[in-house]
Amino acid sequence: MAKSRFRYWLGVGILGGILITFFKIGMRQNRPPANRLAYHNGIQHQPASLSSTQRNGLDQHYSEQKIAAFAGLAERVTSATPDSIFWIAAEQAWQWVSNEQAVLLDLRSYDDYQARHPRGARSFSAVRLPDLEATFPNKNQNYILTNWQDIDIAEVTGAFTQRGYHFLHALEMNSSRTGPYKMSEWEQANLPVEIEKVFHLDGVSIKLGNYEIFKDSLGNLIQMAHFPLPTIDLLLQYRPRLVEQYGYDEDNEAFRNEIGDIESIISAATSAGNKIWVGFSFYQGRGHQGYGGIGFYDLTTDTLGVLRHPALVNHSVRDLMVTEEMIFVATIDEYELSREVGNGLVMIDRKTLQVSALVPPGTPVIWYKDGGDNAALYYDKSIPEILADRRFISKQIEGWNPIELGTTLNLGLDDYMMRAAERER
């Protein structure tokens, strides 16, 4: 009987050793290079300066942690704690992303991501966690989650872990400096970033202001173009229904006295062909108004164009994408205590001038001061992702009157937009 038990436990031990060996081999094949632990649990390591004995001990420590994580998975671990987050240095993250060994995810809102983000990062705001598996079906991929202010990295990591994503790392993006020149570790390492209103075309750096387009010449900004400033008369022309809430009079004096600030500032930009395309936005509330639309600056002809289409003029532009055939404009409404989807994603055929729109299902509210249901899950993402989301529905929107449509078709969209810019000027 004793010999049988001994053989039984000996067999179990051998089988267990074989399984652990295979697991270690699989982990090594699926992980990035051996200097992966530049940061762990917020403590910096320098693998390159370690002795071989120390480095082997570090690798053994890392493997033991992964084995423990595997054991936890077998027990259906459903949450992650800060101790289970593997922190990574910015330089290592950049190396992995550059070599396509990991996916870098920016967990902030899409608006914040657009404004400035590490090059190579993908936008996946924390509000979109319900769509995690549909967006990133490969659970064996290495993911690096960015830790920003107001992001609960432990909670987000826990949500990933619950769904079977266990090759996770975290990258600290908050400033580690004090004083006026606060910089994240990524910026301190002088790693590349993408900035929405900065373009590098043919060796020239182009920067956009609220209404201006500048060329950066050895650090000196030279103005290349200036879009027409908004006026009360153009506001009344483009959005005549606004005066209904103030009553009609011969000069719309009550309306003019009420509106203290008019905006139509550059809020989004993209490059296509030889043009810089821009979207305009404005804030609505407490004496603030404006009008939306899109525009372009032609780098070869040094000309401007604007488009105040009825589907765009009452809304702000949050994002913009231009192809040879289509113009895609993600609209939004900016109020004092809320944000809404406006006309959603407006799509303009550049040849036929047919216009259509897609909006998320349910409420049009993206954010409201008192909380509640919102459409951020669907709308807090890029235009290509919106186009791929089958849950969006069509919306009927206002178009040009037949005369204006005929004029635009005869001129062609680009020439029509250049004439419109001249009229505004």
What distance in Å separates the CA atoms of residue 386 and residue 366, rounded to the nearest whole number?
15
Which residues sit opposite 206 in a β-bridge? 199, 215
Residue 78 backbone class (left: φ over 0; alpha: ψ -120 to 50; beta: rest): alpha
Encode pLDDT of 163-219 as tens digits: 999 899 999 999 866 655 678 899 999 999 999 999 888 778 999 999 999 998 877
> What 3-state class would DSSP assign to 306?
strand
Higher pLDDT, 8 or 114: 114
- The answer to whether the beta carbons of residues 366 and 379 sit under 8 Å apart is yes
Q: Is a pLDDT exceeding 80 seen at residue 297?
A: yes
Q: Is a pLDDT exceeding 80 seen at residue 408?
A: yes
Per-residue model confidence (pLDDT) at position 275: 94
- The answer to whether the beta carbons of residues 395 and 358 sit under 8 Å apart is yes
Sign of the CA dihedral running 105, 108, 113, 117: negative
What distance in Å separates the CA atoms of residue 124 and residue 182, rounded to the nearest whole number?
25
Confidence of residue 269 (pLDDT cuts 50, 70, 90): very high
Query: Strand order in 168-172's β-sheet?
Result: 122-123, 103-106, 143-147, 168-172
DSSP string for 177-189: --SSS---HHHHT
Q: Is a pLDDT exceeding 70 seen at residue 45?
A: no
- The answer to whether the beta carbons of residues 343 and 315 sit under 8 Å apart is yes
What is the bridge-based pairing of β-strands 103-106 and 122-123?
parallel
Average the pLDDT over 368-382 and give the result. Answer: 93
What distance in Å separates the CA atoms of residue 200 and residue 190, rounded to the nearest whole number?
17
Three-point CA angle 316, 386, 121, nearest 5° = 90
Average the pLDDT over 16-22 and give the result. Answer: 57
Average the pLDDT over 18-34 and give the result. Answer: 48
Average the pLDDT over 404-416 and give the result. Answer: 94
Per-residue model confidence (pLDDT) at position 203: 78
- The answer to whether the beta carbons of residues 264 and 293 sit under 8 Å apart is yes
Task: Kindly report the number of other CB atoms within 10 A of residue 57's CB atom.
Answer: 12
Per-residue model confidence (pLDDT) at position 270: 95
Three-point CA angle 264, 265, 270, nearest 5° = 120
Per-residue model confidence (pLDDT) at position 22: 53
What distance in Å separates the CA atoms of residue 31 and residue 140, rounded to the nearest whole number?
10
Encode pLDDT of 226-255 as tens digits: 999 999 989 989 998 887 776 666 677 777
Amino acid at 254: A
Confidence of residue 18 (pLDDT cuts 50, 70, 90): low
- pTM (two decimals): 0.79
Q: Is a pLDDT exceeding 60 seen at residue 313?
A: yes
- The answer to whether the beta carbons of residues 113 and 124 sit under 8 Å apart is no
> What 3-state class would DSSP assign to 31?
coil
- Nearest one of 332, 233, 239 to 283, comparing CA atoms: 332
> What 3-state class would DSSP assign to 344?
coil
Confidence of residue 260 (pLDDT cuts 50, 70, 90): confident
Which residues sit opposite 394 in a β-bridge? 358
Average the pLDDT over 29-38 and give the result. Answer: 39
What is the bridge-based pairing of β-strands 345-349 and 326-334?
antiparallel
Encode pLDDT of 116-127 as tens digits: 999 999 999 999
What distance in Å separates the CA atoms of residue 418 and residue 362, rounded to the nearest whole number?
38
What distance in Å separates the CA atoms of residue 376 and residue 33, rounded to the nearest whole number?
37
> What 3-state class would DSSP assign to 193?
strand
What distance in Å separates the CA atoms of residue 251 and residue 259, rounded to the nearest whole number?
14
Q: Is a pLDDT exceeding 70 seen at residue 338?
A: yes
Per-residue model confidence (pLDDT) at position 146: 95
Q: Is a pLDDT exceeding 60 seen at residue 324?
A: yes
DSSP string for 65-120: HHHHHHHHHHTT-----GGG--B--HHHHHHHHHTTSSEEEE-S-HHHHHHEEETT
Average the pLDDT over 70-83 and give the result. Answer: 37
Per-residue model confidence (pLDDT) at position 43: 30
- Mean confidence (pLDDT) of the chain: 83
Average the pLDDT over 323-344 and give the result. Answer: 96
Per-residue model confidence (pLDDT) at position 44: 34
Q: Is a pLDDT exceeding 80 seen at residue 38?
A: no
What distance in Å separates the CA atoms of residue 225 and residue 61, rounded to the nearest whole number?
59
Backbone angles phi, psi at 141, to 5 degrees: -75, 155
Encode pLDDT of 136-161 as tens digits: 999 999 999 999 988 999 999 999 99
- The answer to whether the beta carbons of residues 206 and 214 sit under 8 Å apart is yes
What distance in Å separates the CA atoms of residue 343 and residue 315, rounded to the nearest whole number?
7
Per-residue model confidence (pLDDT) at position 369: 87
Per-residue model confidence (pLDDT) at position 50: 35
- The answer to whether the beta carbons of residues 115 and 195 sit under 8 Å apart is yes
Encode pLDDT of 61-75 as tens digits: 334 443 343 333 333
